[in-house]
Amino acid sequence: QSSSTTGQQSNKGTNNEYEPVTIRLAYNLPQDHHISVGIENFAKTVTEKSGGNVKIQVYPAGQLLSDKEMNQAILTGGVEMGVNSSTLWASTVPAMGIFDVPYAFPNYELAGKALSGELREKLNKAMEEKGVKVLMYADYGYAQFANNVRQLKSPEDFKGLKIRSIGDIPSEMIKAYGASPVFLGAGEVYTALQRKTIDGATSGTTAMLQRHYDEVAKYLTINNYSYLEFILAVNKSFWDRLPEKTKNLLSETAQQTEQWIREQAKAEDERTAKELEEKGMEVYVVPESDLPKWKEAAKPARDVYIERAGDLGKELLNIVETIN
Amino acid sequence: MRIFSILYSFLDRLIQAGGAVAGILIILATCMTTFDVIARSVFNQPTVWATELCIYAIIGSCFLGSAYTLRTYSHITVDLLINIVPRKVQKVLGYVSNVFGFVFSLIFTIYSLEHVLNTYRLGTTSSSLLRVPMYLPEMFLPIGGLLLCFAFILQIVDGGVSKGGGHL
Amino acid sequence: MNITFFLGGMAALLLIGIPVAFALGLLAIGGMYLFNGGTFSFSQIPIISYKSLDDFTLTALSMYVLMSQVLVVSGVGRDLYEMASKWFRHLPGGLAIATLFCCAIFAAISGSSVATAVTVGAVALPEMTKRGYDKRTVLGLLAAGGTLGILIPPSVPMIIYGSVTGESIGKLFVAGIIPGILLTIIFMIYASWKTRHIKEKPATWSERIEASKTAIWGLILPIIVIGGIYTGVFTPTEAAAIGAMISILIAIFVYKNFTFSNIKKIVLSTVKTNAMILMLIVGAMLLGYIMTILQIPQTITQFAISQDVSPWVIFILINIVLLILGCFLETISILVITLPILYPIITALGFNPIWFAVIMVVNMELALITPPVGLNLFVLKGLDKTNTIAEIVKGVVPYVVIMIMFIVVLAIFPELTTILIGKVQ
Ligand code: NA
Ligand code: NA
């Protein structure tokens, strides 16, 4: 009965072999999303490289856990591994909100650079203090705005709009721009846009395409305000009990996957934005010269992050701004 | 013996109070959502709290109202077998099912309590503008669970009654 | 092995009379203990329990329950019936038509079939038997007409379907409109033919208008609720809140029967129905969690789609299983237990999940009137002590046949469910 030993290592196996273990990994993104593809590939590679001894049992697309309870399940060992957004981790580890701070990561390369240095170490440490080990920072891509009222050419254009928001810091920015953040289940956004219950929504273009926003929203504004990040986290006490050999295998494979996903993020953002345009959305790309104005108007959201994440938050913002 | 009858009626009142609070929570949820619709569609100014608090209220209405629902035999029960077995067997099955129900409620309460304490220690908040400390809405679970434990004990004290329920 | 434990355990726990919600929870705990590391995974019980209700679209359910209870207690049902009988009584089997018309309207303002059967039954049953309608026929008509409550939106089972599967509840509601109206008309044609020997003298136009004026409030509610959802003034959840609020205002200002004892009655029966449904969802989610961990639904889905038969064979099998389950289990239980397994199968086979939701709801309508466990049968039995279940069941048989045929029609013409949505995913 394999499931009864799930999450625990048995003592079988010789020195050269990986100790047999089954690791349960849950994620909540659609199966064809590039992060999902990367994660599935990660699981397959680990299983193969370990000669089938380190088995990763994947529960895809919210089959087992949705994003809301994912973190608790990882923290309590309900699953050994899970993928969830940094935004949701920020509600337990406020410093994780760094990725939601408007315009903190101006482009893909700098985001990658920031995530290979001090920023990563400090975030990892904050996560470990709460009981999870971070194995991978998977780039989702940038968040943008879709709406039905007018093209958003400056922050003032947000005035009076009702926009479906994700997470608290983006909501603060929407508020700061003069719009009202609205809270809706992901399943109702399409209908709400179609019937004009809300004026707009924010999300990555990958998700907008998947959810057919092009059918119900006219304008797409590319302002790259937030670099959405997904975290592959492992229950810490489970991790600590793994043999070094297995830890190394997992870390190395995760690192390779992370690189692959980072490359995909950029390509996917570009592809999906183009496809949305081809399907009839009017796309406006905020010129780089305008971004300081957008950033300045979003300052209240940045202040909220500092207020929440305290000294660590300030340190992280400094690190990011030095790199930029 | 008097102490037992006082205790019995105290617990019974407690369960009824749970039911009353559950009712108030449903009405509150209705009022908050209505307010939000008006704020949004008439004043173009949706609230940031209505949706979230409404969900908490409904979660509360379930767990706080569940014991009352049990005591009024309103949880759906399959009474095919119960209705055809002799009175004596019926009584035994009544005891057995209430003991089982008590076991469920006890496990539910203990682990919910542990979970709430854990959330409190971690300091997890909701990931919305309100940033509600999550242990607060999660408290509905152990409280409701405890009421359910009491309800099953009272059912056992009442004797092997097993009445089917169900109004929809 | 696992599957045997869950099936056997479920049968045993249900039969000894443990409420379904707790039986599901106990089975989940047993499964966790036996197959998933002993008490270790008990820490997931509160997480899953909380998660199962942490959903804004699900809150609509509680508010539709509240609305139904308000409407049952206020006099809306009586006035609607009064109006309908004035308009239809001169036709063959006129009161049967009027009763079904009332059922449809009441269905359009309440999410529940039982609320529909109770409210319309309470006025129509004495009235119709007094005017010479055969009692068995009337009982069958009311039991079946009541089931329209969950097909014509709003609908509690639709909300549960959307909440479990992630389908848009707005779309699900809209998908039920045409099938709901169509089934009402089919019921009317049959009932009118069956009681064609009874005709009454027509009401005068002034009588008709007078009765319509009184009933206007009952007619306005569905327009606000369905119209509001369809035009996008509010989401289905918000429509529930608005509907409940308006029904309370109507009870206070129009019917003026919002006494303290009525309020208490409304609130407490809302609490009971609400906790009953939500606890069932919690229990089913706990069981679903452990079954998913053990990969049971995944295995069944794989098995079903790997069969070398037409998807329609599997579709027919699913309907037969639902019909059988419907005899013994109550609708919400069936939905929450079977959906985690059926939904992946249906989507994997390439069927439209919105269309399947309507098929599923018609199956649930059947479950409400098939013996031995059928809530609408019990409700009608409760209306009048002299009614017997056997009598009601005999009256209901033709409608069971009609509804099974109706499922076939929906299978052949899926457009009936999708045409109003416009865009089929
Ligand atoms: Na309805
Ligand atoms: Na039935």
Per residue in A10-22, pLDDT (tens digit) is 544 456 789 999 9
pLDDT in tens, C255-278: 888 888 999 999 999 999 899 889
Q: What is the pLDDT of residue C1?
A: 63
Decide if pLDDT at A285 tops 70: yes
Parse chain B into domains and list their residue ranges: 2-158
- Nearest CA-CA distance, residue C367 and chain B, Å: 13
pLDDT in tens, C45-81: 999 999 989 988 788 888 988 988 888 888 888 888 8
| Predicted-complex ipTM score | 0.90
Outline where DSSP puts E strands in chain A.
21-26, 54-59, 81-85, 132-147, 162-164, 180-182, 200-204, 219-235, 282-285
- How confident is residue B96, by pLDDT bands cut at 50, 70 and 90? very high
Shortest CA distance to B61 belongs to which of B122, B147, B135, B167?
B147
Select from C35, C57, C233 the Cβ nearest to the Cβ of A188: C57
- C-alpha–C-alpha distance, residues C12 and B161, integer Å: 18
Q: What is the pLDDT of residue A288?
A: 92
User: Could you list which residues have their CB under 5 Å from ion ligand 1?
Assistant: C 107, 149, 152, 155
Residue B44 near residue B132 (C-beta atoms within 8 A): no
- Nearest CA-CA distance, residue B75 and chain C, Å: 5
Decide if pLDDT at C330 tops 80: no
C217 alpha carbon, distance to own chain's centre: 23
- Pair type for strands A81-85 and A132-147: unpaired
Shortest CA distance to C315 belongs to which of C287, C267, C288, C352?
C352
pLDDT in tens, B5-51: 999 999 999 999 999 999 999 999 999 999 999 998 888 888 889 99
Q: Where is A85: in which H helix or E strand?
A: strand A81-85
Two tokens at C377? Answer: 């049968």
- Nearest CA-CA distance, residue A176 and chain B, Å: 13
- How confident is residue B167, by pLDDT bands cut at 50, 70 and 90? very low
Two tokens at C322? Answer: 């639902």
- C-alpha–C-alpha distance, residues A322 and A195, integer Å: 45
- From chain A, pick out residues whose CB is under 8 angstroms from the CB of C40: 7, 77
pLDDT in tens, C176-217: 999 999 999 999 999 999 999 998 889 999 999 999 988 888
Amino acid identity, residue A50?
S
Region A75-80: mean pLDDT is: 94
Two tokens at A170? Answer: 């983006």
Q: What is the pLDDT of residue C379?
A: 79
- How confident is residue B59, by pLDDT bands cut at 50, 70 and 90? very high
Burial of C261 (0-12, 13-18, 19+ CB in 10 A): exposed
Select from A91, A180, A181 the Cβ nearest to the Cβ of B126: A91
Q: What is the pLDDT of residue A313?
A: 96
- C-alpha–C-alpha distance, residues B85 and B82, integer Å: 6
- Whose atoms come closest to the Cα of C361: which ligand? 1
Amino acid identity, residue C144?
A
CB–CB of A8 and C234 under 8 A? no
- Nearest CA-CA distance, residue C159 and chain A, Å: 12
Burial of C210 (0-12, 13-18, 19+ CB in 10 A): middle
Q: Can you tell me whether residue C23 is helix, strand or coil?
A: helix
Instruction: List CB contacts of C295: < 8 A, sequence separation 6 or more.
Output: none
- How confident is residue B160, by pLDDT bands cut at 50, 70 and 90? low
Q: If you measure from the C-alpha of residue C369 to the centroid of ligand 2, how many angstroms do you get, rounded to a whole number?
A: 5
Q: What is the pLDDT of residue B161?
A: 60
Hey, which residues 54-113 in chain B have their CB within 8 Å of chain A?
none
Q: What is the pLDDT of residue C422?
A: 65
- Nearest CA-CA distance, residue A318 and chain B, Å: 24
Decide if pLDDT at A6 tops 60: no
Count chain A–chain C contacts defined by CB atoms under 8 A.
83
Interface of C with A (CB under 8 A): 35-37, 40-41, 43-44, 47-48, 50-51, 54-57, 162, 166-171, 230-236, 289, 292-294, 298, 423, 425
**Number of other CB atoms surrounding residue C241 within 10 Å:** 29
Instruction: List CB contacts of C240: < 8 A, sequence separation 6 or more.
Output: B30, B33, C59, C60, C61, C63, C64, C67, C111, C154, C225
- C-alpha–C-alpha distance, residues C148 and C187, integer Å: 10
Q: What is the pLDDT of residue A317?
A: 95
- C-alpha–C-alpha distance, residues B111 and A268, integer Å: 43
pLDDT in tens, C351-408: 999 999 999 999 999 999 998 778 788 778 777 767 777 888 999 999 999 999 999 9
Region A96-100: mean pLDDT is: 95
- C-alpha–C-alpha distance, residues A25 and B19, integer Å: 40
DSSP A128-165: HHHTEEEEEEEEEEEEEEEESS----SGGGGTT-EEE-
Q: What is the pLDDT of residue A29?
A: 87
The three state secondary structure string of C90-108 is CCCCHHHHHHHHHHHHHHH
Select from A71, A160, A172 the Cβ nearest to the Cβ of B129: A172
Q: If you measure from the C-alpha of residue C377 to the centroid of ligand 2, how many angstroms do you get, rounded to a whole number?
A: 9
Select from A59, A66, A194 the Cβ nearest to the Cβ of C51: A66
Residue scoring higher pLDDT (C198 or B110):
B110
- Nearest CA-CA distance, residue A142 and chain C, Å: 25
- From chain C, pick out residues whose CB is under 8 angstroms from the CB of B32: 241
Q: How much of chain A exceeds pLDDT 70, in percent?
A: 95
Residue A306 near residue A240 (C-beta atoms within 8 A): no
Select from A59, A66, A196 the Cβ nearest to the Cβ of C292: A59
Residue A183 near residue C55 (C-beta atoms within 8 A): no
- From chain C, pick out residues whose CB is under 8 angstroms from the CB of A195: 170, 230-233
For residue B86, whether the previous peptide bond is cis, meaning omega lies within 30 degrees of 0, is no
Residue B65 near residue B19 (C-beta atoms within 8 A): yes
Shortest CA distance to C230 belongs to which of C291, C151, C169, C140?
C169
- How confident is residue A220, by pLDDT bands cut at 50, 70 and 90? very high
pLDDT in tens, C11-47: 899 889 899 899 999 999 999 999 998 898 899 999 9
- C-alpha–C-alpha distance, residues A143 and A171, integer Å: 13
- How confident is residue A4, by pLDDT bands cut at 50, 70 and 90? very low
CB–CB of B82 and C42 under 8 A? no
Decide if pLDDT at C109 tops 90: no
Residue A219 near residue A285 (C-beta atoms within 8 A): no
| Angle in degrees, CA C320, C324, C326, rounded to 5 | 115
> Which range, A26-40, A184-198, C56-70, C395-409, has the best average confidence (pLDDT)?
C395-409
Decide if pLDDT at C334 tops 90: no
DSSP 8-state class, residue C281:
H
Residue C322 near residue C361 (C-beta atoms within 8 A): no
B42 touches chain C (CB under 8 A): no
CB–CB of C47 and A78 under 8 A? yes
Q: What is the pLDDT of residue C58?
A: 81
Instruction: List CB contacts of A48: < 8 A, sequence separation 6 or more.
Output: none
Through-space distance between the first and last CA atoms of chain B, rounded to whole angstroms: 39
| Contacting subunits of B (3+ beta carbon pairs below 8 A) | A, C
Residue C267 near residue C9 (C-beta atoms within 8 A): no
- C-alpha–C-alpha distance, residues A318 and A98, integer Å: 11
- C-alpha–C-alpha distance, residues C154 and C274, integer Å: 16
Q: What is the pLDDT of residue C333?
A: 76
CB–CB of A130 and B122 under 8 A? yes
Which of A172, A173, A183, A199 to mutate to probe the B interface, most B CBs <10 Å?
A: A183
Average pLDDT, whole number, for chain C?
88
Q: What is the pLDDT of residue B48?
A: 87
Decide if pLDDT at C218 tops 90: no
CB–CB of B62 and C274 under 8 A? yes
- Pair type for strands A162-164 and A180-182: parallel
Q: If you measure from the C-alpha of residue C104 to the centroid of ligand 1, how many angstroms do you get, rounded to a whole number?
A: 8
Decide if pLDDT at C149 tops 80: yes
CB–CB of C168 and A4 under 8 A? no
- C-alpha–C-alpha distance, residues B65 and B25, integer Å: 10
Amino acid identity, residue A139?
D
- C-alpha–C-alpha distance, residues A103 and A227, integer Å: 8
Hey, which residues 128-167 in chain B have their CB within 8 Å of chain C?
137-138, 141, 162, 164-167
- C-alpha–C-alpha distance, residues A60 and A22, integer Å: 16
Q: What is the pLDDT of residue C257?
A: 81
Q: Locate tokens 């409407």: which residue? A: C71
Residue scoring higher pLDDT (C49 or A67):
C49
Alpha carbon dihedral C299, C305, C306, C307, in 10-degree steps, equals 120
Q: What is the pLDDT of residue A130?
A: 95
- C-alpha–C-alpha distance, residues A240 and A262, integer Å: 27
Q: If you measure from the C-alpha of residue C410 to the centroid of ligand 2, how many angstroms do you get, rounded to a whole number?
A: 21
- From chain B, pick out residues whose CB is under 8 angstroms from the CB of A181: 46, 48, 129
For residue C154, whether the previous peptide bond is cis, meaning omega lies within 30 degrees of 0, is yes
- From chain B, pick out residues whose CB is under 8 angstroms from the CB of A188: none
- Minimal Cα distance from B133: which residue of A? A91
Q: How much of chain C exceeds pLDDT 90, in percent?
A: 44
Q: Can you tell me whether residue C159 is helix, strand or coil?
A: helix
